[in-house]
Amino acid sequence: MNIRSRVRRTLGFAALYLAATYAGRLTVMDDTNLSLVWPAAGVSAVWFLAQWSSPWRILDVIALSAVTVFVNVATGAPLVLAEWFVVANLAQAWLFVYLFRRWLPHLWGGGGDRPLARLSDLWPLAAAAFLSTACGALIGPTGVWVINGDYSWPATAVWLTRNTVSILLIGATGLRLGHLVRVRLPQLSRADLHAAWSTVSAPRRLEYVAVLVLSAGAYFAVFGVNTSLPLAFTVIAMTVWAGSRLHTAFVVVHDLLFGSVAVLFTLNGYGVFAQIESHAARALVAQVFVGMIAVVGLALALGRDERIALVSDLLTAQQAAIGQAKLMNTIVDSLSEGLTVVDEQGRLLLRNPAVRHLLGGMTSASGEVAQPDYYGLFHPDGSPVHPDEMPHRLALTGREIRGIDILVRNPGVPDGRILSVSSRTLPVDKDGARRAVTVFHDVTAERRHRGELASFAGVVAHDLLNPLSTVEGWTEALADTFAESDHPDAAEARDGLARIDRAAVRMRNLIRDLLAYTTARDATVAFAPINLREIAEDIATGRIDQAESTGKPAPIFAIDELHQVYADAVLLRQLLDNLISNAVKYTAPGVTPALRIHTELADGMVTVIIDDNGIGIPAGQHGRIFDNFHRAHPGAAYTGTGLGLGICKRIVERHGGTIAAADNPSGAGSRFTFTLPADARKAPVAGSDERPPAADAEPRAEATPRPEPAADAGTAAPLPPAAAFEHAALLVLEYLHEQIPLAFWSVTRVENGRQTYLYLDADNGYGLRQGQSHAWEDSFCVHMAAGSAPAVARDAQAVPLYANAGVNSTLEIGTYAGAAITEPDGSLFGAICGLDPRTHTGDLRMAHAEPLLALLGRLLTGALASDRAQNRSTNALLREQLSADTDVLTGLPNRRAWERGIAEWQAHYQRLADPTVIVMIDLDRLKTINDTLGHAAGDTYLQAAAGAARSVIRDTDLIARLGGDEFGLLLAHCDRASADAVTTRLHLELAAAGVTASIGWASVTPEQGFTAALEEADAAMYAAKQQRRTDPSPASAG
């Protein structure tokens, strides 16, 4: 909005304020210069709300001051009194706007775009009106006292009441009208308005007319006739009628119109209130009456609107849930993998069509799982599957079944079919019922191919051993020949033959190891304690011999004392050999390869570190080099298939470890790190939840399987995590990397004006990390989500909104693709975001990106709705569990429960990054009370504080007594603005209970986490306490 438009708005409000001020001055009752009504208070409140964001607010301040002085002086008030009234009106308007924007930031005027439509919004509005008016009442009547020399408490009460009612009535009208003009009307056409009016039925239109006519008659009868009968209460029935039946905007206008009628009759000496002789008492009673009908009408109307909105949201959620269920059913039915859900009684709760095909048409008609022989189920060795070995039964006993093979042979599949089966329990529902989900897919062709490959490897290995035996035989014969020879070159010949013999031995061992590995590749990894240094030195010796035999510089190895690892010897040798070979091969010409191998031990895992001085890894490829067939230097003179590092990654993962590559911190070259178990306790479970046996010489007690101890009364079972969204997000990112050729994909979260990277690949080329964020307004996604820019832009800089986005200053974006992810209520949760520094204008793979992204966005929306629903039940279960750890005195959860709750919320935050606030409270004066009044009084003080704090929080929040005079609050789904409002209300509730306290709070951020938020909240609380010691005024209370 330009300066001319803002000046026009200021002049318009000034004119309205002038009329309201003049009208108020016409109702001056006596020589106190106080008016019976003051509509200008409400006008100034709406004026400053509407103009608060204007950079030219000083014009509004000057205009309000000028109008106040002009009208007051023109109607007989002294200039100095008019100046007092200017200060009072400005302070009153400023405080109202300040409180309104803090308590109601979601409404129009408070920074949001929603109308005044909820009962819960009425009470903060009334409180803001009362407190701001009280501020004005401290100034205005004081000015009258300074001028006239007599302070009138009744006049102060009149000021307080009339201005509160004015702000409440005119403010509510202005809020509804402002939202209509600034938000609703730009979205509606004349046809929309006509359609909305046409939906109002004829009986309802007659009801509007009836309320107006009957209200006019009732008010005339009560206020238009001089009578001493107390009949004013009867007209409240009209307010109740309107508030409970008719539109909220009509109720607001009805209250304003007929409240004004009551005041005007009273001002002119008519009606029941005109019989009151005291001017102050008459004004007070009239304003209390008007305020009462305003509050009653608004409370009824807003409560009704809120109920209607809740019902509508419930129906919408129900329809959305039905739609999501249909979508999930469609997805499940379209899967080629079989999927079943079975309860503890063996009842089939879900079975998709693929089940019938995979089982050869043998499905149970009774709705229950049949015996294994009905389906023809066998183990791969041909032995029948026992009923207790059915995967769903094993899962219901608490075991997680992953990828076990089952052979199906029945009349439908006479040649047999091998199924890979996985099964696990679903989270326990509210009735305590347990269910198992089982997924199986056909791996017959894969297993057949694997067997053929193993046979081929065996034949190749056998064929290689024959010529190797010949080499070894001739080597031995030549060694004997040169053993006693005096030939000048005999020593050199013997050294060469020794190298050949060592190479042959290594080749034979490698062939045998590979042959053993190929014949047992489907078995559990053969874990055993391994001397890592021996294997590393053996491989290093082989590389030195190979280099010297070819005339190349021999690599230099620095091998530290290495920790023992618990691994498969064959796979470990292959892993080290691949990494060392790569380090030697990828060395610049003329440079002698130099490698250092060392280890670190932490938390039962050994980290193996290999540093080299090679040519290094190109930027942005440190993670991609482990992909199959990926070559980091395809154009250089380095041969390779691109499989070696992929094999390394697979070996490390089979051992339950991780592998990574980075630049060598000591200089040129690379650093490869991988982790392996140090002993059997950290070894992974393969195929079932049985750990591999310990390989110590003597059996140890720890190696004997034993059941987990039952949880005692103080130890709650861990809650099942709501991780559907996390799993879906990771799968979506993996799928997008395969389908759409962009370098970077992430799932983001939008909250507190920031866009946070919730899930992304670590080596994404942009250097972004999980938890990093930037301003939402600077992003591309803000325009995509608003529908003002395309969801897929192959040349993003050609789109003006994207080209002007602030994120361009930090990221180079040539192509953009995105999709919105919404909460169950339709509000924005975040977005799928894809970026690439290059443009993809001619890439055909981008042609169908937009509908695919939209579908994936809806899929993640459904997964989020599932997590939200599960979280509601999980939170209820958590509250029940936390109630077992209760502080006896206050009845609140104790420190142990607090730590448990923090841990649960931290795990939830890591998945969804929902806005969370930590509040720390430290009571003042407890020690003084205990010392002077006794511990019984101190206990009462603590109980009062607990009750006051408990009244502030919601069911989704956590409050606990941490010990002594310290309490903690965890506010879930709470942003910074809401946290300010909660702590302000907390101060008020504590003060009402006679308790003073120091309060500090901090928001949890994705980058810092819960630990930092706890420390920040604690520091803020102690800072508030220190401030109270130096300034004990209430304003310094945290």
> Which conformational region is residue 9 in: left (phi greater than 0), alpha (psi within -120 to 50 degrees), or beta?
alpha
Residues 355 and 318 in one domain: no
Most confident of 287-296, 329-338, 504-513: 287-296
Q: What is the CATH number of the domain that holds 26?
A: 1.10.1760
458 domain-assigned: no
Considering the domain architecture, whether residues 318 and 428 belong to the same structural domain is answered as no
Same domain flag for 157 and 8: yes
pTM of the model: 0.39
**Among the listed residues 567, 563, 481, 468, the one whose alpha carbon sits nearest the alpha carbon of residue 525:** 567
Please choose, from the candidates 905, 897, 882, 872, the residue with its C-alpha nearest in 3D space to the C-alpha of residue 430: 872
Which is more confident, 227 or 316?
316
3-state DSSP call for residue 578? helix
| Residue 294 counted as domain residue | yes
Contact indicator for 969, 949 with CB cutoff of 8 Å:
yes
CA dihedral 303, 307, 309, 311 (to 10 degrees): 180
pLDDT at 94: 93
Asked whether residue 543 is assigned to any structural domain, the reply reads: yes
Domain contains 820: yes
Asked if residue 513 belongs to a domain, the reply is no
Query: What CATH number does residue 928 fall under?
Result: 3.30.70.270
- What CATH number should be reported for the domain holding residue 393? 3.30.450.20
Residue ending a domain, choose from 442, 461, 490: 442
| Residues above pLDDT 90, as percent of the chain | 23
Distance of CA 430 to the CA centre of its chain: 24
Phi-psi region of 715 (alpha: psi -120 to 50; beta: other; left: phi over 0): beta
User: What is residue 706's predicted lDDT score, i.e. its pLDDT?
Assistant: 33
For position 465, what pLDDT does the model report? 60
What average pLDDT does the segment 526-549 reach?
A: 86
Taking phi over 0 as left and psi of -120 to 50 as alpha, with beta for the rest, 689 belongs to alpha
Query: By mean pLDDT, which of 86-100, 355-369, 486-500, 623-637 is the weakest?
Result: 623-637
* Nearest to 912, CA basis, from 717, 771, 736, 734: 771
| Domain termination site, one of 334, 363, 398 | 334
Residue whose entry in the numeric block shows the structure tokens 């993640």: 860
pLDDT of residue 848 exceeding 60: yes
> In angstroms, rounded to a whole number, what is the distance separating the alpha carbons of residues 656 and 650?
10
DSSP-based three-state secondary structure for 757 = strand
Is residue 493 situated within a structural domain?
no
**Are 664 and 749 part of one and the same domain?**
no
Same domain assignment for residues 908 and 1010: yes
Tokens 């035989």 appear where?
473
| C-alpha distances in Å from residue 315, one per residue of 115, 247, 321, 732 | 21, 21, 10, 29
Same domain for 351 and 434, yes or no, is yes
Provide the token pair at 307. Answer: 């109920």
pLDDT of residue 457: 54
957: its two tokens: 């929040």
**CB hemisphere CA count around 946 (13 angstroms):** 21
Residue 492 pLDDT > 60: yes
| Higher-confidence position of 932 and 230 | 932
Cβ-based neighbours of 232, under 8 Å, separated by 6 or more: 222, 223, 262, 271, 272, 273, 289
Which of 711-720, 771-780, 850-859 is least confident? 711-720
Distance CA 416, CA 410 (A): 7
In this structure, how many other beta carbons lie within 10 angstroms of the beta carbon of residue 693? 13
Number of domains the chain is built from: 6
Q: Which of 811, 768, 807, 809 is nearest to 784 (CA)?
A: 807
Enclosing domain of residue 345: 337-442
Band the pLDDT of 788: cuts 50, 70, 90: very high
Question: Are 90 and 107 in the same domain?
Answer: yes
- How far CA 169 is from CA of 14, 194, 297, 684, in Å, comes to 19, 28, 10, 69
Band the pLDDT of 907: cuts 50, 70, 90: confident
In this structure, the answer to whether residues 863 and 971 fall within a common structural domain is no
857: helix, strand or coil: helix
**Predicted confidence (pLDDT) per residue in 101-148, tens digit:** 999 988 888 888 888 888 888 889 999 999 999 998 889 888 878 887
Average pLDDT taken over every residue of the chain: 81
Q: Which residues pair with 834 in a beta bridge?
A: 745, 817
pLDDT for 503 beyond 50: yes
CB atoms within 10 A of CB 569: 16
Cβ–Cβ < 8 Å for 325, 865: no
pLDDT digits (tens, 9 = 90+) for 684-720: 654 433 333 333 333 333 333 333 333 333 444 455 5
Task: Give the N- to C-terminal CA distance of the chain in Å, as an integer.
Answer: 38
Q: Is the pLDDT at 64 greater than 60, yes or no?
A: yes
Q: Which CATH number does the domain housing residue 862 bear?
A: 3.30.450.40
Q: How many residues does the chain have?
A: 1038
Q: Whole-angstrom Cα distance, residue 116 to residue 106? A: 10
Asked, for residue 888, whether it belongs to a domain, the answer is yes
Residue 616 has pLDDT above 80, yes or no: yes
Summarize pLDDT for 155-184 with one digit per residue, the tens.
Answer: 788 888 888 988 888 888 888 888 888 777
Residue 1037 pLDDT exceeds 50: no
Say yes or no to pLDDT of 835 above 90.
yes
Q: Which of 663, 682, 701 is the last residue of a domain?
A: 682
pLDDT level of residue 600 (50, 70, 90 thresholds): very high
Q: What is the mean pLDDT of residues 264-292?
A: 79
Rounded Cα gap, residues 493 and 471, in angstroms:
16
Band (pLDDT 50/70/90 cuts) for residue 523 is very low
Q: Are 142 and 136 in contact (CB under 8 A)?
A: no
pLDDT at 864: 85
CB 714 within 8 A of CB 884: yes
Cβ proximity of 286 and 252 under 8 Å: no
Find the range with the poorest average confidence among 42-56, 121-135, 753-767, 1012-1026.
Answer: 753-767
- 326 vs 319, 321, 561, CA distance in Å? 10, 8, 60
Measured distance CA(685)–CA(664) in Å, rounded: 33
In sequence order, what are the residues at sequence separation of 6 or more whose Cβ sits closer than 8 angstroms to the Cβ of residue 926?
Answer: 938, 941, 942, 964, 965
Together in a domain, 305 and 349? no
Residue 473 forms part of a structural domain: no
Quickly state the pLDDT bin for 721 (edges 50, 70, 90). Answer: low
Statement: residue 606 has pLDDT above 50 = yes
In this structure, the answer to whether residues 810 and 904 fall within a common structural domain is no
The answer to whether 95 touches 45, Cβ cutoff 8 Å, is no
CA distance 138 to 89: 11
pLDDT at position 147 is: 82
pLDDT of residue 879 exceeding 80, the answer is no
Q: What tokens does 388 get?
A: 């207790």
How far apart, in whole angstroms, are the C-alpha atoms of residue 222 and residue 262?
Answer: 9
Q: How does strand 594-602 pair with strand 556-559? A: parallel
Q: Are 719 and 904 in contact (CB under 8 A)?
A: yes
Q: Give the residue with greater pLDDT, 254 vs 748.
A: 748
**Of 104, 327, 115, 316, nearest to 825 (Cα)?**
316
pLDDT of 699 reads 33
Over 80: is that where the pLDDT of 89 sits? Answer: yes
**Is pLDDT at 297 greater than 80 in this prediction?**
yes
Are 575 and 623 in the same domain? yes
* Residues 140 and 267 placed together within one structural domain of the fold: no
